Chains A and B, each alone.
Chain A
């Protein structure tokens, strides 16, 4: 080791430069055909005819509808959407947490050494990863279509659809957040005979709490938006209302609904910021 310091001449060039340049080149070569395949022509947006069509569509949203009758419906739909998103996230949290814990290698006792039960542990981790992949591989809209058939029109189908897909997303990202914080405290606790859960609460969560909370709130925000899309297929809430407004070509109502979305996203943002401050 000290020989390096003693050896006279400094290295003439960065030994990693060529590898980096190659990687960048490959990334570009892969990216280009994808842009072509995706018909990526952003300038088409600014062609005169297109601008006019879009302008007409957006213009229809103005002014937002403020009739008392509609505002009553809007309030009810908003509450329904919030309930759907919140219940969905709560259920997905219940699904995600145990799977994330099973998948987190930083909480593996058998990896120390490696010790007894190593193969069982690895198997369990892979199984948990597989389950999480399955859960999130099917888009929530497909689950919603399925559950609407079973449970009928209404938010219950949306809640279940959210719980399943978002459970898969939360679980995967929770495990990744736990792995990317400093894992040495948890490892030291496991090496001192602590249980996995105690090591989680004393070693990993303190460092990861902020990220875990803000990702969960962000997913709640996404769930609000997703519940809208599912509303189009009959899962209730703002989406269903929007669907009706659009079908009746009532742009003002759609405009009001969009304003509510904006407020909800702002709310989620404020909630996330407050939680992060609390958990620093």
Chain B
């Protein structure tokens, strides 16, 4: 039963340099291979939590263990090796627009490549097949040799996901990975992240704005608000009341995917308890 712990946060607090507190007393333990979604209103600290987990931010208080190591006690070389084992899907894909898609995806493995391979791959892509495979899973294979500035926002976001699929990290952190995608594509993209996590037993922690997407794909849901963890429960135990309270500041409507027919069967498929549904969906105005 006792799977190794992939990510552990103990009483983590974080105050940004401008004095704004983003996290307070956050404790979270994620077992290796587990899939967890973080939901919560805008400004709840979801992104900060993921950046702390991804060793991009050092917490002001508390302890972090990433893949069984305390990143902030490691030397520079060990920290770099640890970072190469963690993959992050950023909400705004940090890809220079001049890069070709194939290069942007191959950049996922820069953490494990030698410098010579990295430079050589800029001259001639060193793993076209691998990049193609990752991109094909997001239904974008025909854009492999296009420049990134010729892609739409949603396509670029999928390239960002493909980069992490290609990286094959042990811990995948996804910050609103499908915020620019329409409901059908978003569903498929999250499905690919889940599939990757299943295929290589990678841990997946994703923050999602659409509550229905989180409940459909993730067995465990963490609700955050104002830098605190409000609840941490199996998806089946998440009730409508818990969600309404979580999003109280944003009005009465729960954020879900747009009112798209393909997103509706979520409820039926999960066959979850009556307490979960139905959500009120944002109206079509």
CA distance A238 to B80 in the complex (A): 53
CB distance from B234 to the nearest CB of A (A): 31
Residues on the A chain within 8 Å of B119, using CB: 197-198, 201
When each residue 94-112 of chain B gets 1 if its CB lies under 8 Å from chain A and 0 otherwise, what string results?
A: 1111110001000110111
Q: How many residues of A are in contact with the other chain, CB < 8 A?
A: 33
Given the known interface contacts A113-B57, A113-B72, the answer about A194 and B111 at a Cβ–Cβ threshold of 8 Å is yes
Chain A residue nearest in CB terms to B106:
A202
CB distance from B189 to the nearest CB of A (A): 19
Partner of B90, one of A188, A204, A280: A188
CB-based nearest A residue for B56: A191
Contact B110 A194 (CB under 8 A): yes
Residues of B within 8 A of A185 (CB): 94-96
B76 with A192: CB separation less than 8 A:
no
A110 interfacial contact with B, CB 8 Å: yes
- On whether the beta carbons of B122 and A191 are closer than 8 Å, the reply is no
CB-based contact A202/B76 at 8 Å? no
Quick check: is B3 within 8 A (CB to CB) of the other chain? no
Please name the residue on chain A nearest to B104 by beta carbon: A202
Digitize A178-220: 1 where CB-to-B-CB distance is under 8 Å, 0 elsewhere: 0000101101111111110111011110110100000000000
Q: Does A115 contact B (CB under 8 A)?
A: yes
What residue of chain B has the Cβ atom nearest to residue A191's Cβ? Answer: B56
Closest to A182 in B: B96
Whether a CB of chain A sits under 8 angstroms from the CB of B179 is no
A110 and B76 in contact, given A202-B103, A207-B97 (Cβ under 8 angstroms): yes
Residue of A nearest to B164 (CB): A192
Give the residues in chain A near B87, CB-CB below 8 Å.
192
Q: Which residue of B lies closest to A113 (CB)?
A: B58
Nearest neighbor of B99 in chain A, beta-carbon distance: A206
Is the Cβ of A2 less than 8 Å from the Cβ of B97?
no
A191 near B88 (CB under 8 angstroms)?
Answer: yes
Q: Report, as a range, how many residues of chain B touch the other chain.
A: 35 or more
Is A170 at the interface (CB under 8 A from chain B)? no
Among B43, B58, B90, contact of A1 (Cβ-Cβ < 8 Å): B43
- Decide if A11 is an interface residue (CB 8 Å cutoff): no
Is the beta-carbon distance between B98 and A193 smaller than 8 angstroms? no
Is A116 close to B, CB under 8 A? Answer: yes
In the complex, chain A residues whose CB is within 8 Å of the CB of B46:
none
- Give B42's nearest chain A residue, CB to CB: A1
Beyond A2-B249, A209-B98, whether A193 also contacts B76 by CB under 8 A is no
Q: Which residues of B contact A280 (CB under 8 A)?
A: 98
| Residues in chain B near residue A10, CB distance under 8 A | none
A188 CB contacts on chain B under 8 angstroms = 88, 90, 94
In the complex, the answer to whether B76 meets A115 with C-beta atoms within 8 Å is yes
Interface presence of B83 (CB below 8 A):
yes
**Residue B167 lies at the interface, judged by CB distance under 8 Å to chain A:** yes
B201 proximal to A (CB < 8 A): no
Shortest CB-to-CB span from B63 to chain A, Å, is: 14
Min Cβ gap A245→B in Å is 47
**Does B185 belong to the interface (CB within 8 Å)?**
no
- Chain A residue nearest in CB terms to B84: A193
A195's partner among B43, B74, B110, B122 (CB-CB below 8 A) is B110
A189 contact set on B, CB distance < 8 A: 107, 110
Cβ–Cβ contact B98 & A206, under 8 A: yes
User: What 0/1 readout, one digit per residue, does chain A (86-122) give for beta carbons within 8 Å of chain B?
Assistant: 0000000000000000000000011011111100000
B224 at the interface (CB under 8 A from A): no
Would you call B72 and A207 a contact (CB within 8 A)?
no
B214 to nearest A CB, angstroms?
A: 23
- Residue interface bits A133-157, CB-to-B below 8 A is 1, else 0: 0000000000000000000000000
Give the residue name and chain of the A residue nearest to B86 (CB): A192
Given A193-B83, A198-B118, A199-B110, residue A117 in contact with residue B94 (CB < 8 A): no
Residues of B within 8 A of A184 (CB): 92, 94
> Contact: A115 with B88, CB < 8 Å?
no
The distance from the CB of A185 to the nearest CB of chain B, in whole angstroms, is 4
Q: What would be 20 A-B contacts, judged by CB atoms less than 8 Å apart?
A: A116-B75, A182-B94, A184-B92, A184-B94, A185-B95, A185-B96, A188-B88, A188-B94, A192-B110, A192-B167, A193-B81, A194-B84, A197-B119, A199-B110, A201-B119, A201-B122, A202-B110, A203-B107, A206-B99, A207-B97
Q: Closest 5 interchain pairs by CB?
A: A193-B111, A193-B84, A193-B83, A194-B110, A188-B94
Q: Which residues of B contact A (CB under 8 A)?
A: 43, 54-58, 71-72, 74-76, 79-88, 90, 92, 94-99, 103, 107-108, 110-113, 115, 118-119, 122, 167, 249
Beyond A202-B99, A202-B107, list 4 extra A-B contacts (CB 8 Å): A194-B107, A195-B118, A203-B107, A206-B96
